[in-house]
Structure 1
Amino acid sequence: MSETGRDPAPGAPTDRLGEVFDLVGPLYRRAYRKVEQDAPIEGLPVGVRAVLNMLREHGPMTVPQMGRAQALSRQFVQRMINDAAARHLVESVPNPAHKRSSLIRLTEEGRAAIDAVIDRERAVLRRIGGDLTDAEITACLRVLSRLLRHLDDIDMD
């Protein structure tokens, strides 16, 4: 119901945003399965791929910083970092800002692995998005970014 006590008109932004959520879940799950299916090529589980890509995009980070950035538990991120470290894809380095929370950074092997995954993903995306305009993609990014930002601020009770 709207603030006026009436249901919003069909096709109202609220309904349309609901359609976005209805698509985001299946999209995420299918992309997740695809990454996992292709994992034997680089041997990267989707969680490890996520932390490697974060380090690729932002440079060295602490485990808590990565958890906050991705809305994931520190424990989950730590497991992914441990997996990546066992594969020699990341390494811990001293953090001048915090003695007990090391920075995690990509190794050369880690950078090569995530670059290969990203290159392969972009090749697939080129085939998928060929008829989408820059304006359509910009609008999609604007909507998804706004939803993500505001979901953190909303009390769902």
Structure 2
Amino acid sequence: MPTPLPADALASRLAEVYLVVGPLYRKVARVVERDEPVMGMSTGVRAVLDQLQRDGDVTVPAIAAEQDLSRQFVQRMVHEARDAGFADLVDNPQHRRSSLVRLTPRGSEAIAAVTAREHRLMGRVAGDLTDADVDTTLRVLRCMIEGLDDVERSAT
């Protein structure tokens, strides 16, 4: 088993990851936004619909927490999704003032089409990547998120 990196070396290598993740995120956002007329939704609405598809009915605060976004931004995206007929707000039996966001049949169709398109695009990625490569990448990114969560918690 490989030896874990010392803190200084780890910091340098993870800084390299940040240098790649930023441009990757912006490139994906540009592709999604460029294709918004085809898809019929913004990047923010797409993220909300994707979470609803995965998790079922959830509240705006739950979406915001899961995606590390402000509640106000998520609320705007939910209203945008509702106005497009992709989502509905329904009563929440657990909390009177925090409605549940529910995917509509039209929203289910829309996110399924967007996801299928994205899968076709991601299938073009070169590099002879293995399942283990992807597992390692996900592990590294999740560790980075957890580490930054710890930093945020200690700062408050």
TM-score, normalised with respect to structure 2: 0.90
Aligned pair partner of 2:71 in 64, 70, 74? 74
Query: 1:51 — aligned with what?
Result: 48
Spell out structure 1 runs of 4+ moving beyond 4 A: none
Query: In the superposition, relative to structure 1, how do residues 62 and 129 fare at CA in structure 2: closer, same or farther (>3 Å)?
Result: farther
Unaligned runs of 5+ in 1: 1-6
SS of 1:105 mapped into structure 2: strand
Q: How far is the alpha carbon of 1:129 from its aligned partner?
A: 4.8
> 1 CA distance for matches of 2:92 and 2:123?
39
Deviations 1:62-85 (A, max 9, x none): 011111111111110000001010
- Trace 1:1-157 onto structure 2 (pairs within 5 A): 8=8, 12-129=9-126, 131-155=128-152
SS in 2 for 1:131: coil
Query: 2:54, 2:38 → 1: CA distance?
Result: 22
Sequence identity percentage: 48
CA distance in 2, matches of 1:108, 1:134: 33
Instruction: Give the CA deviation at 1:16.
Output: 0.7
Structure 2 unaligned runs (5+)? 1-6
Q: How far did residue 149 of structure 1 move?
A: 1.6
Q: TM-score, normalised by structure 1?
A: 0.90
Matched pairs, number: 148
Q: Distance in 2 between matches of 1:145 and 1:91?
A: 31
For 1:34, what is the secondary structure of its paired residue? helix
SS in 2 for 1:138: helix
Which one has the bigger helix percentage?
2
What is the aligned-residue RMSD (CA, Å)? 1.5
> How far is the alpha carbon of 1:131 from its aligned partner?
1.2
Higher relative contact order (CA 8 A, sep 6+): 2
The one-character-per-residue Cα deviations of 1:19-51 (angstroms, maximum 9, x if unpaired) are: 001111000000000000111112111000010
| 1:61-120 deviation line (CA, Å, top 9, x unaligned) | 001111111111111000000101001100011111001111001000000000100000
